[in-house]
Amino acid sequence: MKTITLTTDHATYQMGVTDAGRLLHTYFGPRVPDDMGYAIASPDRPFSGNPADGLDLAFSLDVLPLEYPTYGVGDYRRAALDVRTADGTDGCDLRVVSWDQHEGKYALDGLPAVHAAAADASTLEVKLADELIGLEVTLRYGVIPGLDAICRSATVTNVGTEPLVVSRALSASLDLVGGPYDLITFPGRYGMERIPERSAVGHALASVGSIRGASSHQANPFAILAEHGCDEDHGTCWSMSFLYSGNFTCEAQQDQFGMTRWAMGLSDQMFEYPLAPGESLVCPEVAMAFSADGLAHLSHLNHRLVREHVCRGPWALRRRPVLINNWEATGFDFTGEKIYDIAREAADLGIEMVVLDDGWFGARDGDRAGLGDWVVNEGKLGGTLGELSRRIEGLGMGFGLWIEPEMVNEDSDLYRAHPDWALTVPGREPIRGRNQLVLDFSRPEVVDAVFEAICKVVDAAHVSYLKMDCNRSMADVYSHAVVHQSFGKTMYRFVLGTYSFLERLIERYPQMLIEGCCGGGGRFDAGMMYYTPQVWCSDDTDAIERVRIQGGTSYGYPASAVGSHVSAVPNAQIGRSVDLETRGVVAMSGTFGYELDPARLTDAECDVVRRQVVDYKRLWPLIAEGDYYRLGAQDGHGDFAAWGFVSPDAGQALLDVVSLDARCNAPVSYVRCKGLDPAVVYSLELLCGEGGGQAMPTELSGAALMACGVPVPQVPGEYHAWQWVLSARG
């Protein structure tokens, strides 16, 4: 058996090619110098089929670890690929044709992919074929050694003369011996996204995913496989992150002999994707990372991967402007003068940008009309958008705008002119969401028309920021542009149409900051972050709820990508009132901004906002580039939540603590820091929070801060917050 080995700084990924061209997976774990094929045990197993190229009864693909398993070769586990021929036969028998490794990271046409300088990455391409049915599959592996990351994609091509149908095409599959393992996923719902859920991988199939057209509030295309007992600081774990913003699946299952198969890729529910001769399907990329040092280190790797190798453009690493959005202050009920008043009050507080949300266009005074008509409502604004933006810029502020390009109201000029541009089933009443339909972004002419209409608005006003929303799940997936419907093909091309729209925006306005949004966190994925370096984390802006939401988000995504704002109280979503200091501490673990009317703040609250803005600007490098540590009950079920950021050189740290419960005569709780230098003495600067009668030293060693920690002050009431900056002395 020939061996193919990929190495990172701390990991080895290995495959084996049998004499008959079968591609086996032999190892992915801590870096080793050996050929790990020796560990594959394959005794004779009754009722496991033996392919013709097997040397004896002990050779069966049903019990071997496979690199890219297919249906129809005697492997009865879940396949990564299934193809149907013109006569209705399912299955394919792939054999290795060749492989080649070269410097630099591959890219994918029309799809997001991890990027890296040529010297910092390499690519392996393995070509496989089933000559009988005319199928070719190219597996791509992008290796980022410094992040212990292996990126995977597959291209499935019909090289024959007859049509084929792809009914399942995943991007990555891992067969892991050993274990037992736990699967950590991040399910949720609208307004409570990405809450960690951990369960043992057993013989029952564990499967999460989305068929909603977006990666969704209900599931997230990021998952972790961890050894039993793996925690924040110890143990072996792997992650998969799908760089795709549409339907997906993530599956894990033990086979009959305890091997675990873990896979991720396009959802196969109603997927069937026809391939004409010469046509290809590119499976979106899965970025995998490995840690032998627990979940915190795995998060650090993923944070760097997204921040430095997924996000692009001038805003990827740059501090984002502190902004104020008018939605929670006004809803649809505003005028141009009201927006200017918000801007004027915000400028006095040090806020740097105003974002005009939904309601500035068409006949848009509610959510039943106007969506799709990207023409400025000058009567509502009392003038042109350019005039408003220039007035706001005269205050020293930037101007941003909300758009929702993929959607349309039936009560709109666009829909009346082009009803066939919406995804609707002929003769059937459509399914609506937020009183709107979905435009068929699988059609280039639809994307072109919407793009040009929005650009006309942007060109007429100085817009330096766009918030791109998407406020419903997809149904009625019927494209009026094709004769033979294919749910899978239309959904896939819809996502590519959205990516094309975003790529064209980036090319036309290279200095513009774009924030992704999908009813809040319904499209919070690495695929979207390739185009929008920040994504609105959740429509739930309550600070205490956000502790849980942002805590779960932190497993796979960096704070620099988390859209997070201070909102008014009582909170618009749940009616809770939380102190302004606490709201600020929570929102600072993201891109930071405000969702309120500053005219309603007291003088004392205005002073707090001014300080928060100054503190955030000062702390941005630490928040954006520091290693993030989960230090307390960010699941919302303890007395307090705590988290921290530590600079790469451990010379500075930020410690955030929020009390979640109040109890009579409660014991003292302690927050133990992580990531500090034990030999260094740190000065403690309390930025906000009451001491509660607890006298704290102004200096402590890193050893003390990590061994004993900081006692949480006992202050009457709920939802208090404390924020310390720890700085290495001297």
pLDDT above 90 covers a percentage of the chain that reads 91
Task: Say which range, 150-164, 469-483, 495-509, 680-694, has the weakest mean pLDDT.
Answer: 680-694
- Summary mean pLDDT of the chain: 95
pLDDT tens digit sequence for 418-471:
999 999 999 999 999 999 999 999 999 999 999 999 999 999 999 999 999 999
H helix count then E strand count, the chain: 13, 37
Beta pairing class for 260-266 and 273-275: unpaired
Residue type, 507: E
Q: Band of the pLDDT at 643, cuts 50, 70, 90? A: very high
pLDDT score recorded for residue 530: 98
- Residue 261 CA: distances (Å) to CA of 69, 77, 412: 10, 8, 49
579 pLDDT higher than 80: yes
CA dist 240 and 359 (Å) reads: 38
The rounded distance, in Å, linking the Cα atoms of 186 and 193 is 8
At 639 the pLDDT is: 85
Residue 333 to residue 373: CA distance in whole angstroms:
18
Q: Helices 385-393 and 336-348 meet at what angle, rounded to 10?
A: 10
The Cα–Cα gap between 4 and 14 comes to 6
Catalytic residues, by residue number, are 525, 605
Element spanning 630, H or E: strand 627-630
**Dihedral (CA of 111, 185, 535, 404) sign:** positive
Residue 65 predicted with pLDDT over 70: yes
Helix axes 580-587, 603-625, angle to 10 degrees: 20
Tokens of 385: 């958008």
Whole-number Å distance between alpha carbons of 587 and 621 = 16
| Each residue's pLDDT tens digit, 519-557 | 999 999 999 999 999 999 999 999 999 999 999 999 999
